[in-house]
Amino acid sequence: MIKAAVTLFKQKGFHRTTTREIAKESGFSIGTLYEYIGSKEDILYLVCDAIYDEVRENLMQRLNHDVEGIESLKSAIAALFKVIDDLQDEVLVMYQESKSLPKEALTYVLQKENGMVAMIEEVIKECVVRGDLHLSEDEVKLGANNILVQAHMWTFRRWVVQNKYSLEEYTDLQTNLILKGLLKN
């Protein structure tokens, strides 16, 4: 059902997708759909929740714990970018439609997103602790946010970036810019 909703939300957006369409695409009747949900907004919430969990789970699996320091950060960035690429449609839907969530549900989803940022922060912090990076706490936090946004950017500016770069190129370029900045040396 969630898969069906993602498919439709991706194509037409949340508001333009009807509950009937979701039911049909799910293979349920409209009545059955409403056995499982209370309102259309619930579907959006379930969708966002499921997507977030899927992103997180996939990311967990890809994180390479065999490397350390800068290498572990690089590998985390690559893993994140790859996961977002794999779940492109889902992430885009979450990005574009989560604002339609009722306030409470939105808060909950944002908290999950914060958890995501925290994961990246951890990796950066480790590098700081090891002495590989010299960053203030603010810089760590903002850097983590930047990395996540650049991952999302692969989807929400896809008409620019995906037309121009392969995922590998994008990953390499961004990794470079993130780590070294524009100002080389």
40 binds, among a second copy, DNA, none (CB under 5 to 8 A by kind): DNA
20 binds, among a second copy, DNA, none (CB under 5 to 8 A by kind): DNA
- The contact set with a second copy (CB under 8 A) reads 13, 15, 70, 73, 96, 99-100, 110, 114, 117, 124, 133-135, 138-139, 141-143, 145-146, 149-150, 153, 157, 159-161, 164-165, 169-170, 173-174, 176-185
Q: Tokens 């790859």 sit at which residue? A: 82
**DSSP H or E segment with residue 113:** helix 103-130
User: 96 is written with which tokens?
Assistant: 């574009």
Cβ(122)–Cβ(144) under 8 Å? no
User: 129 is written with which tokens?
Assistant: 């602790």
Least distance to a second copy, CB of residue 179, Å: 4
User: 124 is written with which tokens?
Assistant: 């950066």
129 binds, among DNA, a second copy, none (CB under 5 to 8 A by kind): none
Segment near DNA (CB under 7 A); pick from 16-24, 102-110, 112-120, 165-173: 16-24
Least distance to a second copy, CB of residue 3, Å: 21
Nearest 10 degrees: Cα torsion 129, 130, 133, 139:
-20
Task: Assess 30 for contact with DNA (CB under 7 A).
Answer: yes
Least distance to DNA, CB of residue 8, Å: 10
Nearer to a second copy, 65 or 184 (CB): 184
Least distance to a second copy, CB of residue 98, Å: 10
One-letter identity of residue 23: A
Name 34's Cβ contacts closer than 8 Å, sequence gap at least 6.
Answer: 19
Task: Assess 131 for contact with DNA (CB under 7 A).
Answer: no
CA distances from 47 to 22, 30, 92, 97, 139 (A): 12, 18, 12, 10, 32
Nearer to DNA, 28 or 108 (CB): 28
Cβ(97)–Cβ(6) under 8 Å? no
Interface residue with DNA, options 18, 64, 111, 114 (CB under 7 A):
18
